[in-house]
Amino acid sequence: MSEEPGRRRTIRDVAKAAGVSIATASNALNGMGRTNAETRERVRRIADEIGFRPNALARSLLTRRSHSIGIITNDTYGRLTLPMSAGVSEALVDHGVSAFLCATNNDPRLAQLHLEALLDKQVDGIIFTATRLDLTPPVDLTRLPIPVVYAFAIGPETAPTFIPDDAQGARLAVRHLQERGYRRILHITGQEDYLAARLRAEAYRDLAGEQAEVMFGAWSEEWGHEAVRRLISSGRPRPEAIFCGSDEIARGVIDSLRDHGLKVPEDVAVVGFDNWQVVAAQTRPPLTTVDMELKELGRRAGLAMLDLTRGLPVAPGITRLPCSLVTRRSCGLA
Amino acid sequence: MSEEPGRRRTIRDVAKAAGVSIATASNALNGMGRTNAETRERVRRIADEIGFRPNALARSLLTRRSHSIGIITNDTYGRLTLPMSAGVSEALVDHGVSAFLCATNNDPRLAQLHLEALLDKQVDGIIFTATRLDLTPPVDLTRLPIPVVYAFAIGPETAPTFIPDDAQGARLAVRHLQERGYRRILHITGQEDYLAARLRAEAYRDLAGEQAEVMFGAWSEEWGHEAVRRLISSGRPRPEAIFCGSDEIARGVIDSLRDHGLKVPEDVAVVGFDNWQVVAAQTRPPLTTVDMELKELGRRAGLAMLDLTRGLPVAPGITRLPCSLVTRRSCGLA
DNA sequence: ATCGCTTGATAAAAGCTTTTAGCAAAAAAT
DNA sequence: ATTTTTTGCTAAAAGCTTTTATCAAGCGAT
Distance from CA of A94 to the nearest CA of B (A): 8
Q: How many angstroms separate the CA of B194 from the C1' of C11? A: 63
The least confident of B33-42, B142-151, B173-182 is B33-42
Which of 93-152 (A) contact B at CB < 8 A? 93-94, 96-103, 105, 110, 113-114, 116-122, 145
Nearest protein residue to nucleotide C14 (CA to C1' distance) is B62
High-pLDDT (> 90) share of chain A, %:
89
Q: What pLDDT, on the 0 to 100 scale, is given for residue B6?
A: 64
The least confident of A282-286, B12-16, B318-322 is A282-286
Q: What is the mean pLDDT of chain B?
A: 93
Which of A85, A260, A276 is best to mutate for the B interface (most B CBs within 10 A)?
A85
Whether the pLDDT of residue A330 is over 70: the answer is: yes
Name the fold adopted by A166-292: Rossmann fold (3.40.50)
Whether the pLDDT of residue A68 is over 90: the answer is: yes
Which of A144, A228, A278 is best to mutate for the B interface (most B CBs within 10 A)?
A278
Q: Give yes or no on whether A65-164+294-321 and A166-292 have one common fold.
A: yes
Give yes or no for B293 touching A (CB within 8 A).
Answer: no
Q: What pLDDT, on the 0 to 100 scale, is given for residue A34?
A: 86
Q: Given pLDDT bands bounded at 50, 70 and 90, which one contains residue A7? A: confident
A-B Cβ pairs (cutoff 8 Å, strict): 158
Which of A77, A247, A295 is best to mutate for the B interface (most B CBs within 10 A)?
A77
Q: Cα(first)–Cα(last) distance of chain A, in Å?
A: 70
Chain D bases near protein CB atoms (7 A cut-off)? 7-12, 14-21
Q: Given pLDDT bands bounded at 50, 70 and 90, which one contains residue A267? A: very high
Point out the residue among B54, B101, B117 whose CB comes nearest to the CB of A85: B101
Whether the pLDDT of residue B28 is over 70: the answer is: yes
pLDDT per residue as tens digits for the range A173-215: 999 999 999 999 999 999 999 999 999 999 999 999 888 999 9
Rounded Cα gap, residues A118 and A114, in angstroms: 6
| In CATH, B11-54 is 1.10.260.40 | yes
Rounded Cα gap, residues B188 and A4, in angstroms: 55
Residue A145 preceded by cis peptide, ω within 30:
no
Give contacts of A101 with chain B, Cβ < 8 Å.
71, 85, 89, 99-101
Give contacts of B56 with chain A, Cβ < 8 Å.
117, 120-122
Whether the pLDDT of residue A3 is over 80: the answer is: no
Q: What pLDDT, on the 0 to 100 scale, is given for residue A6?
A: 64
Strand order in the sheet with B98-103: A317-321, A160-164, A148-151, A126-129, A68-73, A98-103, B98-103, B68-73, B126-129, B148-151, B160-164, B317-321
Tell me the mean pLDDT in the region B135-143: 94
Rounded Cα gap, residues B300 and B319, in angstroms: 10
Q: How many angstroms separate the CA of A9 from the C1' of D21? A: 28
Q: What pLDDT, on the 0 to 100 scale, is given for residue B1?
A: 39
Binary contact (B56, A121; C-beta < 8 A): yes
Whether the pLDDT of residue A1 is over 90: the answer is: no
DSSP assignment of B19-57: TS-HHHHHHHHHT-S---HHHHHHHHHHHHHTT----HH
Q: What are the domain boundaries of chain B?
A: 11-54, 66-164+294-320, 166-292
Point out the residue among A57, A118, A222 whose CB comes nearest to the CB of B282: A222
CA dihedral in degrees (A62, A64, A67, A73; nearest 10)?
140
Tell me the mean pLDDT in the region A267-283: 93
pLDDT per residue as tens digits for the range A278-318: 899 888 899 999 999 999 999 999 999 999 999 999 999 99
Q: What pLDDT, on the 0 to 100 scale, is given for residue B278?
A: 85
Point out the residue among A78, A96, A118 whose CB comes nearest to the CB of B82: A78
Q: Given pLDDT bands bounded at 50, 70 and 90, which one contains residue B11? A: very high
What φ, ψ does residue B314 adopt, rounded to 5°?
-130, 135
Rounded Cα gap, residues B50 and B14, in angstroms: 8
DSSP assignment of A75-123: -SS-TTHHHHHHHHHHHHHTTT-EEEEEE-TT-HHHHHHHHHHHHHTT-
Q: How many angstroms separate the CA of B45 from the C1' of D23? A: 28
The number of C-alpha atoms within 13 Å of A28 and in the hemisphere containing its C-beta is 24
Binary contact (A56, B118; C-beta < 8 A): no
Q: What pLDDT, on the 0 to 100 scale, is given for residue A77?
A: 78
Q: What is the mean pLDDT of chain A?
A: 94
Q: What pLDDT, on the 0 to 100 scale, is given for residue A4?
A: 47
Q: What pLDDT, on the 0 to 100 scale, is given for residue B33?
A: 78
Point out the residue among A79, A100, A279 whose CB comes nearest to the CB of B100: A100
Q: What pLDDT, on the 0 to 100 scale, is given for residue B3?
A: 41
Domain A65-164+294-321 is in which class? alpha beta
Cα separation values, B159 from A142, A157, B72, B308, Å: 43, 48, 15, 11
Whether the pLDDT of residue B222 is over 80: the answer is: yes
Q: What pLDDT, on the 0 to 100 scale, is given for residue B34?
A: 84
Binary contact (A61, B58; C-beta < 8 A): yes
Give contacts of B113 with chain A, Cβ < 8 Å.
93-94
Give yes or no for B218 touching A (CB within 8 A).
Answer: no
Helix, coil or strand: residue B242: strand
> Which CATH number does the domain B66-164+294-320 belong to among 3.30.1050.10, 3.40.50.11540, 3.40.50.2300, 3.40.50.720?
3.40.50.2300
Asked whether the beta carbons of A193 and A180 are under 8 A apart, the reply is: no
Whether the pLDDT of residue B173 is over 80: the answer is: yes
Q: What pLDDT, on the 0 to 100 scale, is given for residue B2?
A: 42
Nearest protein residue to nucleotide C6 (CA to C1' distance) is B34
Point out the nucleotide closest to A61 (alpha carbon to C1′): D15
Q: What pLDDT, on the 0 to 100 scale, is given for residue B333?
A: 61
